A = this chain, B = another copy of it.
Amino acid sequence: MKIERGRHLLHEGQTATDMFVLHEGWACAYKTLSTGRRQIISFPIPGDLLGLRSILLRPTDHSLFALTDVVVSAVRDSLILKALHRSRNQALAVLRSAARDEALIVEHLVRLGRRSAIERAAHFFIELVERLRFVGPVGKLVFRCPLSQNDLADALGMTEIHINRVLRQLRERKLLTLRAGELIIHDFNGVAKIGAYKPNSSVARDLSSED
């Protein structure tokens, strides 16, 4: 099932009947405040499960949005319920996936609460890179990263203008460059240091629980 860039998979307040597995493309989960400001909760990437919470707690508290063209498969809620019943391993897999989501959200919360703008950005990019599973800590690393500065601002709790200044700093200090949808890490260790990044096992998807 293809969804094109700029469309929603799920709207806040909606009563969802299915969740999604993301196969290709980038999405984000976000909430909107009554003032119109947006806070991005997470950026699911291919392989992630989206909207589990939305089928457990209805109506849903967040929106899901396609940042690029996206390929997903929808999973009907009744299927999840069946999976819970079927085998302990499947139930455990669902639960683990939820726990992993939560861990990522908690990490994001800590970023927002207790770090400066540049630390937040550095920490975020390192985590992102780790999630993309290119783990080599040394040398030049290049990734596709179609996030706009506006998206980053809404995720990292700052203004567009300020994330721009932060990115400039990171670029000038030869730490990383984000341009034209491409993220280049010039100095992994340098960025990790600014972000005070602690390697975290729950970031990587747990393969053992997939069947």
Contact = CB atoms under 8 A, between A and B. Distances in A.
B39 A109 contact: yes
Interface of A is mostly: helix
Contact of A81 (B37, B88, B112): B88
A46 B103 CA distance: 23
Contact of A196 (B35, B57, B112, B157): B35
Contacts of A113: 39, 112, 155-157
A53 B99 contact: yes
Contacts of A99: 52-53, 56-57, 98
Contacts of A110: 31, 33, 39, 41
Contacts of A156: 113
Nearest to A96: B56
Contacts of A155: 113
A57 B109 contact: no
Nearest to A102: B102
B57 A96 contact: yes
A96 B81 CA distance: 12
Contacts of A157: 112-114
A73 B96 CA distance: 23
Given A110-B39, A112-B157, A114-B33, A61 B196 contact: no
21 contacts: A31-B106, A33-B115, A39-B109, A39-B113, A39-B114, A41-B110, A52-B99, A53-B103, A57-B96, A57-B103, A61-B103, A61-B107, A61-B200, A84-B84, A84-B88, A84-B91, A84-B92, A91-B91, A95-B95, A102-B105, A113-B157
